[in-house]
Structure 1
């Protein structure tokens, strides 16, 4: 098992990226591959008589631990690997000598040798169903290639997050060393939160168990986001209802104020709409109330109704007009002279 390493300088700060690759035999992988002093198991001589390449191959040993021969360890949850593969919505490529990474990036040909079309968990291990190309099938049967080198992404804490593909190889350690010198692999498929923060702290903030998996954390965040959207919708509806209620109450208050002003003789009924428009403005009702008080004060100091009635009475008395209509004096005299 090899681990690829490079340092990428950016803005003066060293950023370290690690990617591990577990090398497994194409056929008949046994538990001894987990031993520190064994890199991978060769294909036995009997396998050379097989007429076709194996359809199912073991990609990751039994969970939860994967151990390299130099002592480095990784861990994974099979369900996390299966969910990540399903989310990819497509097969994973198997190439020759990891050519997709160090040949394709340099514009060189890097053909596929097969495609991982399905993953399955078998006794805690991850197996893949591979559709080999015709060329790769011949190379495997003739033992031109004898090992499969799966690639996986893992976090800084050593959690394997997803399978990224695989490569047919013969000398995994040397190939991987050359690969790391020629061209670094792309960054791991993890979120910035997972890379830069302790998942335990995030789980604690979400009131989840400390050993919760990344997919469970993401599911919890998604559920909370859905709840937030629903609450915001309810809040918006409540605000709209409150605005309508306040507008209705204000209109009722304006109508009551105008009714009272007309009843008390402070405004003419014909001017109701003008005063209603005034009251709907900001501070309009307060201005109207002040106006009403001034009119009331003026009537108390100089009784408007009394003055009007007195004037009408005098006019009627002087001109013998019971209706109180003020007629021109000459017209009245002519009318009186005519009767005489």
Structure 2
């Protein structure tokens, strides 16, 4: 974000132009001091837009602005003397062709008497300005004086900087390039200042939320997790392995029981036993379904062929195996192929 240089402080004097409780602070348009100042800017300048910003900034201040005598407010720390107020103001208004006026000025009784008796003729406002454009930025205070041309203005400006704590933060607040700021925020160039302010507030809120999350993460890292809520990874993996082993052993036990049941019911021949075991490992429900629907085969009695089933045909299947093929709806060739793959 580009910012302009720190605003400079100026003090000059005008003949007091009082209209009731209104008092002109700075004139309209381009103006200079009698000695030619400013020397670090092309001129001083105000218009309606400049005045609107000056008035807004004054309204944002908590305290009223002081009018004193001979700028004693700035010199008090240096000379140790009191700095009585002559008056107070905060409200300002722009008058076309005339300038910025302080309105609703509250004069002290002493100051009012001085003015009525014409004991003071000049008003010296203290203000900040942009050294690049000369635009007036802030009205800081004012003083009653009888010096048409003030001496020691460099010293007065330095005292004003110290008195009002003017820092580069003021420069950033007052002179930020609005278009550049819109670009940085991803907003259209036509975005108003109020909309930009709203976007900045939203951004600040998100940043605060992010800071909160960062602090929570840091706290977790510092304190560690609650071990009562967690188990070590190694223990978890060991438990998972034991569970898988138990499941495998249980399934193997169930397959073995079904195979023995099928053999006892003369539904599984010795030649079919490997096939039945493999089927049970892959699909226990399918093995149960086979045993529920397959007929008992009397030819499986060991005494008939000394435990060896006779073969039948070129496929090499026994009569009992052919009966199983029929029960399963398989061709002898497909059954023989499945048997050979076991």
Using the size of structure 1 for normalisation, the TM-score is 0.52
Contact 2:23 2:102 in 1 (8 A): yes
Equivalent position to 1:25, from 15, 30, 50: 15
CA displacement at 1:58 relative to structure 2: 0.8
Equivalent position to 1:199, from 176, 198, 213: 176
1:78-117 equivalences in 2 (<5 Å): 78-117=51-90
Contact 2:137 2:174 in 1 (8 A): no
Distance 1:176 1:119, change over 3 A: farther
Contact 1:81 1:161 in 2 (8 A): yes
Cα RMSD (Å) = 4.5
Equivalent position to 1:142, from 91, 95, 117: 117
- Deviations 1:192-244, CA, capped at 9 Å, x for gaps: 2735997334454344659x9xxx6586144233256369879x99xxxxxxx
* SS across alignment from 2:144: strand
Q: Which runs of 5+ in 2 are unaligned?
A: 214-227, 262-342
How far apart in 2 are the matches of 1:179 and 1:170? 19
The alignment of Structure 1 onto Structure 2 pairs a total of residues equal to 224
* SS across alignment from 1:108: coil
Distance 1:219 1:67, change over 3 A: farther
Aligned to 1:329: none
Aligned to 2:100: 126
How far apart in 2 are the matches of 1:74 and 1:208? 31
* SS across alignment from 1:103: helix
Using the size of structure 2 for normalisation, the TM-score is 0.51
Equivalent position to 1:167, from 137, 143, 146: 143
Aligned to 1:75: 45
Q: Which runs of 5+ in 1 are unaligned?
A: 1-14, 29-52, 238-277, 311-340
CA displacement at 1:94 relative to structure 2: 0.5
* SS across alignment from 1:121: strand
CA displacement at 1:149 relative to structure 2: 0.7
Distance 1:297 1:24, change over 3 A: same
Contact 1:154 1:160 in 2 (8 A): yes
1:1-340 equivalences in 2 (<5 Å): 18-27=8-17, 54-63=20-29, 65-69=30-34, 70=36, 72=38, 73-76=43-46, 77-123=50-96, 125-129=99-103, 130-157=105-132, 158-177=134-153, 179-180=155-156, 183=159, 185-186=161-162, 189=166, 192=169, 194-195=171-172, 199-200=176-177, 201-202=180-181, 204-206=183-185, 207=187, 209=189, 220-226=196-202, 229=205, 281=231, 283=233, 286-299=237-250
